[in-house]
Structure 1
Amino acid sequence: MKFRYLLLLAALSPLPQAGQAQTSTPATVPAQQQQPAPDEGGPQTDNGPVVIKKKKDAQEPPPPAAPAEEKIKNPNGANYNLRVDNPLVSLDVSVQLDKTKQFVPGLRPAQFLVLEDGVEQKVDTVRMTQTPITAVMLLEFAANNWGYIQDMRNASYSFFRSLRPDDYIAVVTFDLKTHILNDFTNNKDILGQALQSLTIPGFSDTNTFDALYETLDRVSRIEGRKYIILIGSGRDTFSKLTLDKILAKVKATPNVTIFTIGTGAFQNELYGGRGGIGGSIRDMNYLQAQNQLKTFASMTGGLSFSPIFQGELPDVFAQINDSIRNQYVLTYRPTNTKPDGTYRKIKVLLVDNEGHPLKMVDEKGKSVKYSIIARDGYKAKLPVE
C-alpha cells in the first residue's frame, strides 16, 4: 500500500526539461527573450516586431442623390415669355453736293431720318468713317468694239492709279464667261500686270448679268463692306439669267455697293441719232444698257457715270473715292420684327430740329442742292437663318 502511494506521487511530479540543469533554483529567462503580451485584436507572431500597416485615407461617402422632381407641364402655374432681339441694321450713307459731288461732313445724328417701309425708325448710332476699300474690278473685255475696249482700259487704269496701299482689289473680266485675273491683293504690281494682259479679247458676247451674279455670289462670302466697280457697255447677249433675276440678286446681297462706268459714250455721240431702223435699234439698245447700269448702282447706293472723254475719268474716280472712303454709318433696330424674308424699302432723309427737310447753303448764303446716297432696302432674314 505504501509502495503504490510512492509510485503515484512520482508520476504526478514534473519532469525536468531537456537541456535544463536539475537544480532547485528556477531558470531565469533573459529580458530580450520575454515577449510582451499582445494587444487585444492586434496581430500575434511568434517572434519579431509587429508590422503595422499604413492607414488608408478615409474616403468621404458620396453625397446622396437629389430627390427626383415631379414633372409637370407648368410649374407653379408660372407663365414664361420668349424674347428675341431684333437684328441690327447697318446702313452706309453718303451725302454729296449735286454740283461739286463733294462729301458733306459734320452732320449730327438728330439730322438723319430713316424710314423703313414708310415707318420712322429710331437711329441708335451715327458715325463717320474713312476706311480702305475691298473692291472687285469687273471689266467687260469682249471682241465687239475696239472703242469700248479702249474706254474700259482707260477707266480701269484711272481707278488703279487712285488706289491706296491698304486697298484690296480683285480683277475679273467677262465676255461669254467670267475670268478671274487675280484674287484680292494690295500688291499694285500684280494688279498692273493683270491690266496689262488685256490685249487680245476672245469672244464677242457680253454676258453682263451672269458675270455680275457670279461676282455678287463670291463677294457675299467676304465679311464687311465690299464694292464692285463695273466697267462695261451694260449690254447683255446670252446670259442665262434675266434682268429680273439679277435685280433680285442685287437686292438680296447685303453690304455690297456697285459703281458703274459706262463705255461707248463717245461712239454714241458720234453715231447716235442718225435715224432709220438700224440707228433707232442701236440707240435704244445703248439707252437700255445705260439704264441697267444706273439701276445696279442706285439700288446699292452707288454712282453711275458715262464719261465721253478720257479727261473726265480722274474726276469720276475722285467722286467714287470720296463716296467710298467718306461716309456715315447708321445703325438701328427695325420696328418690324417679323423674320419673313421680305424686302424692306429704306429711305434716308435729312431734317432740321423741327422735322422739316434740311436746307444747306454755301458761304454766300445761297441754297445748294445735295443728294443722299444709300441702299434702297434690304432683305429680312428667315427664321432658319
Structure 2
Amino acid sequence: MVVEYSEWSERFGYYGSGGYDPGTYEVIRPTAMFLTQFVKPPDDYVSVVAFDMRPTPLTDFTNDPGRINQVINLLLRNAPAFRETNLFDALKFTLLGGRGDAVVLDDSKSATADYSGLVSVQGRRRAIILVASGIDTFSKINYGDARKVTQNAGIPIYIIGTGNLFFKKYEDRLDATDSLTGMPGRMTWLQAQNTLKTFAKETGGAYFPVTFEGELPKVLGSINALLRNQYSLAFNPGDVHDGKQHKLQVSVDVNGDGVYDDKEYVIQARQFYNAPKPDGAK
C-alpha cells in the first residue's frame, strides 16, 4: 500500500473539509479502513510505504493486526514533514526496489536499507493500493519513465484519488498554472487526475476518485472484490527484442460463438508489453 503523506496532501484535506477534520485524515482514513477491514490472515499480507519527497517504508509485509495498528497510529501521531510529493519515485521504489529509508517500525540501527521491490515478491496475487492526489512535484524520474515502470511490472494499481473535494471547492479560484507559492494550478490538477487514470488503466487496475468520506466503504469493497476475483491469463511474446511497445488486447467470448461480448463486460487487463532492446543496444 502506497500512501501520499505530504504537507500538500494535508493542506488539500484540511481546506477540502473546511477545517472540520485534520488534513491528514483524507489519506489516513482509507488506509486505516483497508488495513483493518480487508487484510485477512493467514493468506493476506500488506506492506505500507508513505511518501513525500521520498518513499519511506512503515512496515514490511505483515498480517499481524498489532503491527497494522502500529502503522495507523504512526500516521495519526505524526505530521508530514515536507511539501514535496514525489509520486513517480515512490511507485518506482515500491515496484522495483532500491536503497531507501529503513523500515520505521523495525527500529533499525541503520538509517537506510536495500529493498527488492514488489516485482520480486512471489505470490498468487500482487497489487498496489495507491492513496494519492496524482500530483508529482519533484521526482527524479519523469511521467514517461514512470509509465514504463508500471507497464513493465505487470502488477495492477488500484487507486483511491484524493484532493477531489478541495479541487471542486476551489477550482474557480486557482490559477491556470502553478502559482509562485507552489500551489498547484488547474492544469496540474487535471494532469494529476489523468495520470492516475492512466496508471490504473494501463496496469489493469482501477481508479476511484473519492470526494466524500461516505464513498469509501463502497470503493474499498470494490477494490477488495477485484483483488479476490480474477482470471489469470499468460501471454508469451516469443523471443522478441525490438525495444518497442506492443499493445495487448483481451476480449471476452462468453458462449464461444465467435462474437465478442465486450460491451456486456468491463475488461481490466494490462494494455502493453514493452519488449527488451536488441542485444548490444543501449
Mapped pair 1:296 → 2:199: yes
- Secondary structure of the 2:231 match is strand
Alignment partner, residue 159 of structure 2: 260
Asked if the contact 2:39/2:63 (under 8 Å) is kept, the reply is no
Distance 2:219 2:272 in 1: 26
Distance 1:243 1:197 in 2: 30
- Secondary structure of the 1:285 match is helix
Asked if the contact 2:151/2:270 (under 8 Å) is kept, the reply is no
Residue of 129, 139, 143 corresponding to 2:7: 143
Gaps of 5+ in 2: 14-22, 97-116
Q: How many angstroms does 1:159 deviate by? A: 1.0
Alignment partner, residue 344 of structure 1: 246
Alignment partner, residue 315 of structure 1: 218
Residue of 81, 89, 92 corresponding to 1:213: 92
Deviations along 1:166-215, one digit per CA (max 9) or x if unpaired, are: 21000111111111111001112101211211131111110111111111
Asked if the contact 2:6/2:81 (under 8 Å) is kept, the reply is yes
- Secondary structure of the 2:127 match is strand
Gaps of 5+ in 1: 1-136, 360-367
Alignment partner, residue 257 of structure 2: 354
> What TM-score, normalized to structure 1?
0.57
Alignment partner, residue 148 of structure 2: 248
Q: Relative to structure 1, is the Cα distance of residues 278 and 294 closer, same or farther in structure 2, using a 3 angstrom cutoff?
A: closer
Deviations along 1:25-65, one digit per CA (max 9) or x if unpaired, are: xxxxxxxxxxxxxxxxxxxxxxxxxxxxxxxxxxxxxxxxx
Alignment partner, residue 378 of structure 1: 273
Mapped pair 1:287 → 2:151: no
Q: Relative to structure 1, is the Cα distance of residues 213 and 311 closer, same or farther in structure 2, using a 3 angstrom cutoff?
A: same
Q: 2:58 is aligned with what amino acid? A: L
Q: How many angstroms does 1:292 deviate by? A: 0.5
Q: Which has the higher strand share?
A: 1
Residue of 156, 168, 171 corresponding to 1:269: 168
Q: How many angstroms does 1:381 deviate by? A: 5.7
Q: How many angstroms does 1:223 deviate by? A: 2.1
Deviations along 1:279-315, one digit per CA (max 9) or x if unpaired, are: 9962221111111111111111000011111111111
Alignment partner, residue 153 of structure 1: 28
Deviations along 1:91-136, one digit per CA (max 9) or x if unpaired, are: xxxxxxxxxxxxxxxxxxxxxxxxxxxxxxxxxxxxxxxxxxxxxx
Q: Which has the higher helix share?
A: 2
Asked if the contact 2:177/2:187 (under 8 Å) is kept, the reply is no
Asked if the contact 2:174/2:186 (under 8 Å) is kept, the reply is no
Asked if the contact 1:272/1:279 (under 8 Å) is kept, the reply is no
Distance 2:135 2:230 in 1: 31
Distance 1:328 1:264 in 2: 33
Alignment partner, residue 362 of structure 1: none
Deviations along 1:231-281, one digit per CA (max 9) or x if unpaired, are: 111111111111111111112223x11111111111122112347657996
Alignment partner, residue 85 of structure 1: none
Residue of 165, 190, 205 corresponding to 2:67: 190
Residue of 108, 128, 133 corresponding to 1:228: 128
Distance 2:242 2:177 in 1: 48
Q: Relative to structure 1, is the Cα distance of residues 168 and 277 closer, same or farther in structure 2, using a 3 angstrom cutoff?
A: closer
Distance 1:187 1:296 in 2: 30
Q: How many angstroms does 1:333 deviate by? A: 4.1
Larger Rg, first or second structure (1 or 2): 1
Percent identity of equivalent pairs: 38
Distance 1:186 1:376 in 2: 31
Highest RCO, 1 vs 2 (Cα 8 Å, sep ≥ 6): 1
Mapped pair 1:167 → 2:67: no
